[in-house]
């Protein structure tokens, strides 16, 4: 069952596809649904994708395809447009590039742990860099992940999660006070956080000392 906003967005996307063969931009969706930010649209699209109503077309810049429409859309007609009849859509439109704003939480150490997740500014990120789920950004401090291509001053784009698989690059919160960006490993009953720089030693902790705060989803780098 979809929420009213999810139905409104799905109906708006479907109508734009039928009218011009091109899915709307995030800015157009935000205005149509009268939302304050494009991050709200991002969450709605993730929810529709997870429920199988839309999909993102591969190798295209944020192209969307409507797979189905719910029966409930007829009972809860959205304010944006009059919803079309349920149907499968086989078109493959190309959408415009979009930019999302995600929270920027301070600096995170790629060397030794430092305090992280302080304050909350916003960082504009090309939407194509982000997949499904909720995201935030951290500015990298240090060089211990340089052999993984993560450099001092980069912006790490993090997908929120509290679990990690062996070998993933994660944000690990240590003793509920300090966070670091490292490879996640297990060593017997311990948790090992590995750097990607031979000049640094792995960090080994008891499992109760470490909480996963997210996994690396992408990087942004500025060139001056």
Q: Is 15 helix (H, G, I), strand (E, B) or coil?
A: helix
Options 30, 38, 182, 215, the catalytic residue: 182
Options 144, 177, 198, 215, the catalytic residue: 144
Measured CA to CA, the distance from residue 31 to residue 50 in angstroms comes to 23
CB of 91 within 8 A of CB of 122? no
Measured CA to CA, the distance from residue 127 to residue 85 in angstroms comes to 30
Query: Angle, to 10 degrees, between the axis of helix 38-50 and the axis of helix 26-33?
Result: 100
* Known catalytic residue at 182: yes
List the structure tokens of 29.
Answer: 């969706």
Cα dihedral sign, 14-15-18-20: negative
* Known catalytic residue at 144: yes
Q: Which residues are catalytic?
A: 144, 182
């Amino acid at each position: 069952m979809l929420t009213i906003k999810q139905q409104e967005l799905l109906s708006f996307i479907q109508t734009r596809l039928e009218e011009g063969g091109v899915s709307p931009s995030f800015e157009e969706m935000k205005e149509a649904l009268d939302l304050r930010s494009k991050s709200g649209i991002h969450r709605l699209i993730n929810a529709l994708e997870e429920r199988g109503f839309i999909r993102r077309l591969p190798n295209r810049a944020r192209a969307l395809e409507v797979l189905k429409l719910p029966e409930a859309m007829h009972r809860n007609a959205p304010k944006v447009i009059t919803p079309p009849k349920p149907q499968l859509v086989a078109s493959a439109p190309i959408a415009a590039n979009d930019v999302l704003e995600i929270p920027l939480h301070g600096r995170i150490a790629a060397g030794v742990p430092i305090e992280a997740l302080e304050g909350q500014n916003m960082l504009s990120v090309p939407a194509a860099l982000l997949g499904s789920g909720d995201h935030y950004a951290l500015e990298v401090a240090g060089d211990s992940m340089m052999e993984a291509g993560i450099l001092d001053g980069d912006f790490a784009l993090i997908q929120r999660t509290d679990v990690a698989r062996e070998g993933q690059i994660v944000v690990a919160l240590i003793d509920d006070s300090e966070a670091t960006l490292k490879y996640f490993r297990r060593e017997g009953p311990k948790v090992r956080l590995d750097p990607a720089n031979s000049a640094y030693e792995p960090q080994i902790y008891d499992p109760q000392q470490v909480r996963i705060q997210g996994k690396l989803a992408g990087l942004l780098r500025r060139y001056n």
